[in-house]
Structure 1
Amino acid sequence: MTILFHDAHKVDADGEVDGFWMLVDGDRIVSVGSSPRRRGAAADATGATGATGAASASHGGSGALDGSDGRGGAGLPPADRTVDLGGAHLTPGLVDLHTHGGGGHSFDHDAASIEAGLALHRSHGTTRSIVSLVAAPIAELRGSLQRVAELQQRDQLVLGAHLEGPFLAPDRRGAHHRHYLADPDPVLIDELVDAGWGTLRQVTLAPELPGGLAAVDRFVAAGVAVAVGHTEAGFDLTRQAFDRGATLVTHAFNAMNGIHHRDPGPIIAAVGDERVTIELVLDGVHVHPEVATLVLRSAPGRVALVTDAMAAAGSPDGAYRLGDLDVTVSDGVATLTGSDTIAGSTSTQDHALRVALSRTGLTPTEAVAASTIVPARALGLDDRLGRLAPGYVADAVAWDTTWSVERVWAAGVEVPAAR
């Protein structure tokens, strides 16, 4: 079935286009353009190469841009169904590299809990997610990795797993259980990689641990993206980790050394390295928006907004669990019970996007890119995720003028949206 989305204001990493339309066939975008029907501008149908007119047809569109069959309307190709967006903002589906749960459900439990938590995030516009796991007994981590692998086989919107533990510095463990931390020895690394059946996408690692830099080599060789995080590493050691193949920083500023004028630390190492993507939890709690703005401006196009959400995302204040630890949520802020240690966020990606637009000065194009193409690129998936362009997956979010989610499509299928 083909679906024509039309009369949208497109916003993605390539910029903004008014009067935007796109033709979807199954789970892929096959052609895009801008229609003169309501805007009074010349029609422009764009294919993957950036050519116009005929190039669009070569990517699966009909080429009949004049709507001569009576279904498309002037300047629009025909389709089996049409979706009139009435001028709403239209962006690619959001991508989250780092989330632990939502809707009252933790990803450290069974597959049903993972699915329920992901449904909450999808309703807020996150169409593709990494399932993040906190430190746990190794046998439990193996089981969790297998569950994620099984889930990915039946749900293409799951991008794989992220091991945030167990390879963390004890004094920078945050909301991870100290007893479940471990040094990254080769046998354990191979055991966890094998348990994921090729779906382990990302691991957070403190490179100062015994065998830490060798572990970077081993994970990279296995096709796993390595993120420096929960670490005591300074500037020089962090740069060594990047030179060995680490390409991410886990939730910048949190659970690591900050910026000092004589000891610049891991964040400055990441800002200065074009190979590195920097995760940023932009919920107004984890990082002050002025500090977030500094990083966003210092590393343009390399900061990925993430939620680091735990089970309380989209749920009321109260008592929750993160792994084996008790968490109290008050006024939307999650902390380990009886302490002031932040235990993930209660945010969703649409909230992070609104904070980026309202409190950092990012343009819509920049903010949307940080929520879509930048995290996709960190996983090597930017050839199919993160743009509204021919050949890309048909993930899209329609927003109202306040940047609240109105409708969500994932792989060409509409999913329930939060209201």
Structure 2
Amino acid sequence: MIIKNGNVLVKGKIITKNIFIKDGKIKDFNVEGVHDNQIIDAEEMYVLPGFIDVHTHGGNGIDTNLADEKELKELSGFFASKGVTGYLPTLLTDTHEKTCEVVEIIGNVMEEQSGSKILGIHLEGPFLSHEFKGAMPDDLIVDSSIEKFMEYEKKSNDNIKTITVAAENPGVLGLIRYAVSKEVVVSLGHTGATYEDCMMCIEEGANRITHTFNGMRQLHQHYPSILGASLESDAYCEAIVDGLHLHPAIVRLMIKTKGIDKVIGITDSVMAAGLPDGKYKLGVNDIIVVDGDARLVHGDSRAGSTLTMNKALKNLMEFTRLPIEECIKMITINPAKMLNIDNDKGSLDIDKDADIVIMDKNYDVIYTIVEGRVVYNNSGK
């Protein structure tokens, strides 16, 4: 495949270039002439690294806790239409049996994929805080268990990529040590723990904060808590950039404090993403969406978002007033580095995977390409 005449993001700059793709990899930026290849003319379009969403519970009527293999493949197709080339299906805290069932389903789908690529599984729980559970079902939150986590690993065929835990959950330090030893990324979230306990978890290897500022004890000058630890440490900070979970000024403050290379834009999307207001499910929960805002039917907690990644990029540009070359880091190379897959994904470089989104001047998705395959085409050609 050749992508020609595009405004290509290479090494932090937008430059008009051609891209030659072979065997799913980017092979050359200087190809000239006509070859016996599929050709995409990207004139006046942006050619960007594909988006990576490390925290999503679903979209287009599909919930990751409830989906079968067919629905997961449909979900990957939906995400492809939003410029996503890779994502982590995120599982809400559920029963042990249901979690084992779902991680096995996702592991099976990963062996034969189409659309956006499932890069692994994100377990959001069940080893969390009762006090800061948010939309997590209180009766299903349990103490940390290496044995249970090992069963999730086995059922998923070792495809657990990351797990969110609370720093005060009993036994959490042992679980963090085990998970890190298995190259699983540990994230802190849904926690009311002290600053000291959070820093201890970070020192043991936790290196990400789940939806920073949401589902956690807030910052206090005498009790810095998880927010003090997240902003002071080198941990990556997730940000739900829908404009509801975080005021734009907080997004700017997070970037100013952490540096743009340590902030990761996420959707935390639910099955209502891409659909009208109404009643939906989030795992075991009933939720209702009014004016695009998802909340629990019983209780006042927000229950994820209806955000999609193409809109996340537009929001980041609007909130921060930074150029696309800067904003896109937060949904491409930053999550790739956090997941330790940046040798293959997250930027457009020679011999990296050809994970590409092509957008028009309004930042609407025209093509999505995953490992050299066109998985979404809105060009009319």
For these two proteins, the number of residue pairs brought into alignment is 375
Secondary structure (helix, strand or coil) at the match of 1:174 reads coil
Pairwise mapping of residues 256-275 of structure 1 onto structure 2 (< 5 A)? 256-274=216-234
What is the distance in 2 between the residues matched to 1:264 and 1:351? Answer: 32
Equivalent residue for 1:358, pick from 291, 310, 318: 318
Question: In the alignment, is residue 225 of structure 1 matched against residue 185 of structure 2?
Answer: yes
- Residues 131-172 of structure 1: CA deviation (Å, up to 9, x unaligned): 110111101101111111111111271111111021110111
Question: In the alignment, is residue 162 of structure 1 matched against residue 117 of structure 2?
Answer: no
Q: Which residue of 1 aligns with 2:25?
A: 28
Q: CA deviation at 1:16?
A: 1.9
Question: In the alignment, is residue 317 of structure 1 matched against residue 274 of structure 2?
Answer: no
Q: Which residue of 1 aligns with 2:140?
A: 180
In the alignment, residue 21 of structure 1 is paired with which amino acid?
Answer: N
Secondary structure (helix, strand or coil) at the match of 1:112 reads helix
Which has the greater radius of gyration?
A: 1
- List runs of 5+ in structure 1 lacking aligned partners: 33-44, 46-64, 72-77
Secondary structure (helix, strand or coil) at the match of 1:310 reads coil
8 A Cα contact 1:394 1:410, kept in partner: yes
Q: CA deviation at 1:189?
A: 2.3
Question: In the alignment, is residue 99 of structure 1 matched against residue 56 of structure 2?
Answer: yes
In the alignment, residue 238 of structure 2 is paired with which amino acid?
Answer: E
Question: In the alignment, is residue 136 of structure 1 matched against residue 133 of structure 2?
Answer: no
8 A Cα contact 2:153 2:160, kept in partner: yes
Q: Which residue of 2 aligns with 1:60?
A: none
**Over 4 Å off, 4+ runs:** none
- Residues 8-60 of structure 1: CA deviation (Å, up to 9, x unaligned): 11236x2123212211003111112xxxxxxxxxxxx4xxxxxxxxxxxxxxx
Q: CA deviation at 1:232?
A: 0.8
8 A Cα contact 1:4 1:24, kept in partner: yes
In the alignment, residue 276 of structure 2 is paired with which amino acid?
Answer: P
Secondary structure (helix, strand or coil) at the match of 2:363 reads coil
Q: Which residue of 1 aligns with 2:299?
A: 339
In the alignment, residue 148 of structure 2 is paired with which amino acid?
Answer: L
What is the distance in 1 between the residues matched to 2:307 and 2:357? Answer: 18
In the alignment, residue 271 of structure 2 is paired with which amino acid?
Answer: A
In the alignment, residue 287 of structure 1 is paired with which amino acid?
Answer: L
In the alignment, residue 256 of structure 2 is paired with which amino acid?
Answer: R
8 A Cα contact 1:213 1:244, kept in partner: yes
Question: In the alignment, is residue 126 of structure 1 matched against residue 88 of structure 2?
Answer: no
In the alignment, residue 21 of structure 2 is paired with which amino acid?
Answer: V
- Residues 312-368 of structure 1: CA deviation (Å, up to 9, x unaligned): 000111000111110000101100014321000100111111010012222211211
Q: CA deviation at 1:296?
A: 1.3
RMSD: 1.6
Q: Give the fraction of aligned pairs with identical amino acids, expressed as a percent.
A: 28
What is the distance in 1 between the residues matched to 2:190 and 2:56? Answer: 16
Equivalent residue for 1:152, pick from 106, 110, 114: 110
What is the distance in 1 between the residues matched to 2:162 and 2:365? Answer: 28
**Range 108-117 or range 165-174, more displaced:** 108-117
Q: CA deviation at 1:417?
A: 5.0
In the alignment, residue 324 of structure 1 is paired with which amino acid?
Answer: V
8 A Cα contact 2:58 2:269, kept in partner: yes
In the alignment, residue 333 of structure 2 is paired with which amino acid?
Answer: I
What is the distance in 2 between the residues matched to 1:304 and 1:79? Answer: 39
8 A Cα contact 2:132 2:217, kept in partner: no
What is the distance in 2 between the residues matched to 1:268 and 1:111? Answer: 41
In the alignment, residue 216 of structure 2 is paired with which amino acid?
Answer: M
Q: CA deviation at 1:190?
A: 1.8
What is the distance in 2 between the residues matched to 1:23 and 1:271? Answer: 41
- Residues 205-239 of structure 1: CA deviation (Å, up to 9, x unaligned): 00211111111111111221100001111221111
What is the distance in 1 between the residues matched to 2:218 and 2:322? Answer: 23
Q: Which residue of 2 aligns with 1:8?
A: 6
- Residues 93-149 of structure 1: CA deviation (Å, up to 9, x unaligned): 100101011001111122222222222111100110101101111011011111111
8 A Cα contact 1:19 1:87, kept in partner: no
8 A Cα contact 1:9 1:16, kept in partner: no
In the alignment, residue 366 of structure 1 is paired with which amino acid?
Answer: E
Could you state the TM-score of these two structures normalised by the residue count of structure 1?
0.86
Q: Which residue of 2 aligns with 1:17?
A: 14
